[in-house]
Structure 1
Amino acid sequence: MSINQAHFQNGLLLYQGEQIVNHSKNVTLSFDDASRQYGEVFRGKHKGKIFVTTHRMIFLNDDQRDNLQSFAIAFMYMKNLLVEQPLFGANYISGIAASHPNG
């Protein structure tokens, strides 16, 4: 998991050999428990774009004044991943994002 490391001048930074598999606009990112433990950057709802690559999932914020500009999580650090497609609601992904070792 990294914060504000996957963007540059409103664009997306990819690793060498990493490819975008899917992307979506108008995505809302929120954190349940992180705001209490890790501070202001995780508070509230963040609206932007999400990119699913061959290595990780990356969120880019649309609001340039927000403290959280980008959020990236490698698939190997995701736990309890749940992809839901409810009949009468918006699709969503939920899970636990663990930090990198010593992160």
Structure 2
Amino acid sequence: MSINWTMIAPDGRTPVPLPREKIFFKQSSTNFELDCSGSKSTTLTPPSSPAFFPSGAWHDANGTVFLSNQRVIYLPDRPSQQLQSFHVPLLSLKSCKYEQPWFAANYISGHVLPVAGGGLSQPGQLKLIFKEGGGFEFYSIFRELLERIDETNEVPQHLEALPTYTASGSVAPGEMPP
């Protein structure tokens, strides 16, 4: 996972894709919470607190989440010096769950692992709250991507169906090739 390392397009609203990266899902009106403090508390430290960076907690009330074949990206609607962007490689997001509380918005939660040079030294708990829907679609695509990675042991470049096989004209139907 990385804080403030995502390259952002000139429009300020979309991430610059990595080589061979394809974005499969985008949802605005999403809350972001990341707790790397190591405490068991679910209450996050507000951004103005002294322990905000580098191993504390981050919270953003409104932004856009992207899901690609390589990573999960969050871009706040109002970037601050402390939180301009967040991304986590798919394989660094562990124990991901889709939660549907009775009296709150649906959310995705999971354990995130730091990456070398990402600006964070400790693992943390990630929570993406989908205020206007989209959580189930995000989770379904995320699970499918992980299944594809398990099948191939590599990060997939795309999830398009293979082209239909057509036989060459050299072998008649029912005959064995030479």
TM-score where L is the length of structure 2: 0.49
Tell me, yes or no, if the aligned pair for 1:27 and 1:50 is still in contact at 8 Å.
Answer: yes
Point out the structure with max Rg over C-alpha.
Answer: 2
1:73 and 1:84 map into 2 onto residues whose CA distance is 20
Secondary structure, aligned partner of 2:35: coil
Report the AA paired with residue 5 of structure 1: W
2:114 and 2:20 map into 1 onto residues whose CA distance is 23
Q: Aligned ranges for residues 1-103 of structure 1 at < 5 Å?
A: 1-8=1-8, 9=10, 10=12, 11-34=14-37, 39-41=51-53, 43-46=57-60, 47-86=62-101, 88-101=103-116
Tell me, yes or no, if the aligned pair for 1:7 and 1:69 is still in contact at 8 Å.
Answer: no
Gaps of 5+ in 1: none
Secondary structure, aligned partner of 1:76: helix
Identity of aligned residues (%): 29
Gaps of 5+ in 2: 38-43, 46-50, 119-178
Tell me, yes or no, if the aligned pair for 2:79 and 2:85 is still in contact at 8 Å.
Answer: no
CA distance 1:101–1:64, change in 2 (3 Å)? closer
Tell me, yes or no, if the aligned pair for 1:7 and 1:60 is still in contact at 8 Å.
Answer: no
CA apart distance, 1:33: 4.1
Secondary structure, aligned partner of 1:16: coil
RMSD value, Cα: 2.4
Secondary structure, aligned partner of 1:31: strand
Report the AA paired with residue 4 of structure 2: N
Report the AA paired with residue 14 of structure 1: P
Tell me, yes or no, if the aligned pair for 2:36 and 2:57 is still in contact at 8 Å.
Answer: no
- Aligned residue pairs, count: 101
Tell me, yes or no, if the aligned pair for 1:6 and 1:14 is still in contact at 8 Å.
Answer: no
Q: In terms of mean alpha carbon deviation, does 57-66 or 22-31 score higher?
A: 57-66
CA apart distance, 1:88: 4.8
